[in-house]
């Protein structure tokens, strides 16, 4: 695909698809990571004399105008981060958008209102994509985290304008490629989370690609239960036992070393500061539930990690939101960060919970690469083709641009 190295933006209207879908609580943005990470692309386009017009969805208004889901506060925050004025238009198509775009001078920045206020966005309606495209001369996609959606602003529009990958998109694709498609081996993955049922495709793809797979979170309970271990009152999916056994069988056939907990931190209920006990995995009391992996498991994971060159991480090892069940995740995260700093391990992590867990452990900046993507990161781990990425690979040829 073509990057900004191949684009001449001076004097052009650049439609920049960003993912401005930041977490917001009571109208206050609680995490600006996505804005911080797209800022370099905006600065570069502005510096090169482009008229920068940002397109993004925000939350899930389902094709209707929902005032609480306006991008106006995000535009304001973006202006603070960029240290330059950012204009805002109260619609992403039609006369209001056009007027704001026409008023732009080279090097200025404008945010258009939430694309999902129009039903045509999620339907990838060609007529709506055409309306969006009418405000631009070129299209730059910097929204890897929305690339699993085949929507008008992430897919449809790329068929209508010369399309380029922005700097963040470029970074994400390079980092992910290096982690799983062409990794330095041995490569391992830590996959946590509560349910196997939502991660079957992901686990199957991991087993085929990595040398070592650590399974944590409540998902591990199902694997243990399937093998006849009594996991007491722990969260598990009994109907997934056959699937779990199948995954273990495939792993064996493919030479993927699966690491499951050998001990656990258990409690009678899931609440902050309850009485806990650390037990061997075959000694979980019937009236207790597993809420974190134990210290022996942490040791085992760290020892394995030391044999690896690359580590991909998605999902916490325990119920990390509630201390003390954050301990294993924090300890392993810190060890991974240390190995990264020593130049021994390439670490790539993604998914909303995972990034929060790494921040909680104070090591978010020490990993080799943190993806800004949640759902898109998961689909990429599944080995799926992401429509917003695929279109960037093909569109130039379609438009006869090579």
Task: Cite the beta strand spans of 31-174 per DSSP E.
Answer: 51-55, 86-89, 109-112, 138-141, 163-165
Cα-flanking dihedrals φ and ψ of residue 345, to 5°? -140, 140
The span from the CA of 327 to the CA of 318, in Å, is: 8
Is residue 375 a contact point for ligand 3PG (CB under 6 A)?
yes
Pick the closest to residue 104 from 119, 87, 125, 92 (CA basis).
87
CB of 56 to ligand 3PG, least distance (A): 8
Pick the closest to residue 369 from 166, 161, 203, 177 (CA basis).
177
Cβ–Cβ < 8 Å for 55, 135? no
Task: Give the chain's radius of gyration (CA, Å).
Answer: 23
- Which residues 204-263 are close enough to bind ligand 3PG by CB under 6 A? none
Question: Any known ligand binding at 43?
Answer: no
Question: Any known ligand binding at 307?
Answer: no
Is 296 a catalytic site residue? no
Question: Any known ligand binding at 21?
Answer: yes
Question: Any known ligand binding at 384?
Answer: no
Size of the site for ligand 3PG (CB under 6 A): 8
Q: For residue 218, how many other CB atoms are within 10 A of its CB? A: 22
β partners of residue 140: 16, 164
Only one of the segments 6-14, 145-153, 158-166, 299-307 lies at the binding site for ligand 3PG (rule: CB under 6 A); that segment is 145-153
Backbone dihedral region for residue 255 (phi beyond 0: left; psi -120 to 50: alpha; all else: beta): left
Q: Could you write out the DSSP letters of every residue in 151-196?
A: -TTTTGGGGTS-EEE-HHHHHHHHHHIIIIISPPSSEEEEE--S-S
Among 19, 121, 141, 379, binds ligand 3PG (CB under 6 A): 19
Is residue 146 a contact point for ligand 3PG (CB under 6 A)?
yes
Single out the catalytic residue among 130, 178, 195, 390. Answer: 195
Question: Any known ligand binding at 83?
Answer: no
Only one of the segments 7-15, 142-150, 229-237, 385-393 lies at the binding site for ligand 3PG (rule: CB under 6 A); that segment is 142-150
Cβ-based nearer residue to ligand 3PG, 34 or 304: 34
Single out the catalytic residue among 49, 63, 107, 375. Answer: 375
Cβ-based nearer residue to ligand 3PG, 186 or 352: 352
Cβ-based nearer residue to ligand 3PG, 19 or 331: 19
The span from the CA of 211 to the CA of 190, in Å, is: 11
Among 145, 153, 205, 371, binds ligand 3PG (CB under 6 A): 145
Question: Any known ligand binding at 34?
Answer: yes
Cβ-based nearer residue to ligand 3PG, 61 or 261: 61
Is 195 a catalytic site residue? yes
The span from the CA of 238 to the CA of 225, in Å, is: 8
β partners of residue 51: 13
Among 162, 166, 217, 374, binds ligand 3PG (CB under 6 A): 374
36-75 footprint of ligand 3PG as x/- string (CB under 6 A): ------------------------x---------------
CB of 65 to ligand 3PG, least distance (A): 17
Residues with Cβ within 8 Å of residue 234, at least 6 apart in sequence? 218, 221, 225, 266, 284, 289, 290
Single out the catalytic residue among 352, 359, 383, 396. Answer: 352
Cβ–Cβ < 8 Å for 108, 87? yes
Cβ-based nearer residue to ligand 3PG, 60 or 341: 60
Cβ–Cβ < 8 Å for 103, 125? no
CB of 375 to ligand 3PG, least distance (A): 4
The span from the CA of 327 to the CA of 263, in Å, is: 13
Only one of the segments 89-97, 141-149, 272-280, 339-347 lies at the binding site for ligand 3PG (rule: CB under 6 A); that segment is 141-149
Is residue 306 a contact point for ligand 3PG (CB under 6 A)?
no
Cβ-based nearer residue to ligand 3PG, 202 or 300: 202
CA angle 47, 49, 53 (to 5 degrees): 95
The span from the CA of 1 to the CA of 396, in Å, is: 8
CB of 242 to ligand 3PG, least distance (A): 30
Question: Any known ligand binding at 199?
Answer: yes
Residues with Cβ within 8 Å of residue 381, at least 6 apart in sequence? 180, 202, 205, 206, 312, 314
Is 375 a catalytic site residue? yes
What are the residue numbers of the active site?
A: 34, 195, 352, 375
Please give the annotated binding residues, written as ranges.
19-21, 34, 57-60, 116, 149, 199, 321, 351-354
Using CB under 6 A, list all residues that contact ligand 3PG.
Answer: 19, 21, 60, 145-146, 149, 374-375
């Amino acid at each position: 695909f073509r990057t900004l190295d191949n684009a001449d933006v001076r004097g052009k209207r650049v439609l920049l698809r960003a993912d401005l879908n930041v977490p917001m609580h009571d109208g206050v943005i609680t995490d600006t990571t996505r804005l911080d990470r797209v800022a370099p692309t905006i600065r570069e386009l502005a510096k090169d004399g482009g008229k920068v017009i940002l397109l993004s969805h925000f939350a899930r208004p389902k094709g209707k105008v929902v005032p609480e889901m306006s991008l106006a506060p995000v535009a304001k925050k973006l202006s603070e981060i960029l240290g330059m004025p950012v204009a805002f238009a109260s619609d992403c198509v039609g006369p209001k958008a056009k007027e704001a775009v026409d008023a732009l001078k080279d090097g200025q920045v404008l945010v258009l209102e939430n694309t999902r206020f129009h039903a045509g966005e999620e339907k990838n309606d060609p007529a709506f994509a055409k309306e969006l495209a009418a405000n631009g001369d070129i299209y730059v996609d910097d929204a890897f985290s929305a690339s699993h959606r085949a929507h008008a602003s992430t897919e449809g529009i790329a068929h209508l304008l010369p399309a380029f990958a922005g700097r963040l998109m470029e970074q994400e694709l390079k980092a992910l490629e290096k982690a799983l498609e062409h990794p330095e081996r041995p490569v391992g993955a830590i996959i946590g989370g509560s349910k196997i049922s939502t991660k079957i495709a992901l686990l199957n793809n991991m087993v085929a690609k990595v040398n070592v797979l650590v399974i944590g979170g409540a998902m591990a309970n199902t694997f243990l239960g399937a093998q006849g271990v009594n996991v007491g009152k722990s969260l598990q999916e009994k109907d997934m036992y056959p699937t779990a056994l199948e995954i273990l069988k495939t792993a064996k056939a493919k030479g993927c070393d699966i690491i499951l907990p050998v001990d656990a931190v258990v409690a009678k209920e899931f609440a902050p500061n309850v009485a806990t006990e650390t037990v061997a995995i075959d000694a979980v009391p019937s009236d207790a539930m597993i809420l974190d992996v134990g210290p022996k498991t942490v040791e085992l994971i760290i020892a394995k990690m030391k044999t690896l060159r690359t580590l991909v991480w998605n999902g916490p090892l325990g119920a990390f939101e509630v201390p003390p069940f954050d301990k294993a995740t924090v300890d392993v995260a810190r060890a991974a960060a240390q190995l990264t700093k020593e130049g021994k391990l390439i670490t790539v992590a993604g998914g909303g919970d995972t990034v929060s867990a790494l921040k909680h452990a104070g090591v978010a900046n020490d990993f080799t690469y943190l993806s800004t993507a949640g759902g898109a990161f998961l689909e990429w781990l599944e080995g799926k083709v992401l429509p917003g990425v695929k279109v960037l690979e093909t569109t130039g040829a379609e438009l006869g641009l090579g």
